[in-house]
Amino acid sequence: MNTPQYTLYITFTLIFMALLFIAAIVAIVVVLFQKSNSDGIQGITATSETFFGKNKGRSIESKLKKWSWITLIVIGVLSLVIYIVQIIAP
């Protein structure tokens, strides 16, 4: 059972599972840092912000949103690769 193909399969699976785990942790952290889209009670109070205050927040939020999409795509691709390897593997 310790053929080179089996060893390669186990190594490949462990590496990609570790990468999947790291990507999941990064996705959780990035999503938790994002600001909520719902205004809630703030929409009722009608707070006014300056133009520069809004743009500063948008740049940070846009970067976090971009990184969350990237990490979620990485998770999806890694999941598909692991699934395909499970099907093809001995």
pLDDT by 10s per residue, the chain, length 90:
688 888 888 999 999 999 999 999 999 999 888 877 665 555 444 455 555 555 555 688 888 889 999 999 999 999 999 999 889 876
Written as one letter, the residue type at 82 is I
What are the phi and psi torsion angles at 64 (to 5°)?
-65, -40
Q: What is the pLDDT of residue 43?
A: 46
Q: Say what the pLDDT of residue 37 is.
A: 65
Answer whether 16's CB lies under 8 Å from 79's CB.
Answer: no
- Encoded tokens for 35: 């600001």
As a whole number of Å, the end-to-end CA separation of the chain is: 10
Closest CA to 11 of 88, 87, 85, 76: 85
Per-residue pLDDT at 55? 59
Q: What span, in angstroms and rounded, lies between the C-alpha atoms of 9 and 67?
A: 30
pLDDT value, residue 45:
46
